Structure 1
């Protein structure tokens, strides 16, 4: 009996508090609507980053030869471009010297990518820029064909042993 009375009391409370004269349309502030419309109209003005070259080929290099290149880019959009971070796919490729200040529309900047030149055969690395463009990030690449060092000591072939299982 107590459960029934408690249940009816809870139902009455919900019914009395949810049935107010006030509706959702009366809660809309026209100043907020105008501000949101203005914000939405300008939100499509993203900066656009355009690279002079989006992929750099170092060609053929000898294993262990450090190389570097400079990536140049321009803000071709209508609002300031901010590059907040640049990182690579591994520690062998290090991006440095990028402009952390906003870049005005029409202005250019650059950053350096250093690659330690280690690997075998064709090597490709990606460098990701965290930006305020519409996509939020941009990617440039470096690649090189790495030949073995002719002056490196020859590696001794390994040995194998066969064990019998009984």
Structure 2
């Protein structure tokens, strides 16, 4: 009976040790343009992204000609470095900020955009994000609102 118990404990400890063998991946602060392009082109370097904030946000009532900032938080939920290749907007009234740094696995970041609505009525604006992510490289973030007179 002691041999069986000892064998069980040995097997359990070996299994527990194996689960800790994952290599930590640290994102370098800066990558050269060539290194970035290599990561973006190599599908083996693709990771996954988790949107912490909803990808569709209703901002409610907005004041005409007032600038607002919207943000979308994300997390690198994969096991490779996450690079945001590009961030663009549907029109000139929305100016997005592209995060320049690489994100290590588990690291969080924010995509921000400034919106200045000079029109009036209901709006729906898109921000397009391209990253080294699988299964899709392209992500669409949307914010809506209702622009009203002051």
Q: Cα–Cα, structure 1 residues 80 and 121, in superposed 2: closer, same or farther, change >3 Å?
A: same
For residues 23-57 of structure 1, give each alpha carbon's deviation from its aligned partner in whole angstroms, at most 9, with x where no partner exists: xxxxxxxxxxxxxxxxxxx9567311111221222
In the alignment, which residue of structure 1 is the partner of 2:113? 113
> SS of the residue aligned with 1:69?
strand
Aligned partner of 2:142 in structure 1 is 141
Aligned to 1:7: none
Deviations 1:39-76 (A, max 9, x none): xxx95673111112212222111221111122111000
How large is the RMSD of aligned CA atoms in angstroms? Answer: 1.9
TM-score, normalised relative to structure 2: 0.64
Report the CA distance shift for 1:85/1:45 in structure 2 as closer, same or farther (over 3 A). Answer: closer
TM (norm. structure 1) is 0.59
Gaps of 5+ in 2: 1-41
Count residues with an aligned counterpart: 107
Q: Bigger relative contact order, structure 1 or 2, given CA contacts below 8 A and separation 6+?
A: 2
Deviation at 1:145, TM superposition (A): 0.6
2:61 and 2:145 in contact (8 A); partners too? yes
Contact 2:45 2:81 (8 Å CA) reproduced: no
Write the deviation string for residues 137-166 of structure 1: whole angstroms up to 9, x where unpaired: 11111111112x25xxxxxxxxxxxxxxxx
Matches within 5 A, 1:93-112: 93-96=94-97, 98-112=98-112
1:90 corresponding residue in structure 2? 91
Partner of 2:39: none
The answer (yes or no) to whether the contact 1:129–1:139 under 8 Å persists in 2 is yes
Q: Tell me, which stretches of 5 or more residues in structure 1 are unaligned? A: 1-41, 151-166
Higher strand share: 2
Matches within 5 A, 1:1-166: 46-53=46-53, 54-96=55-97, 98-134=98-134, 135-147=136-148, 149-150=149-150
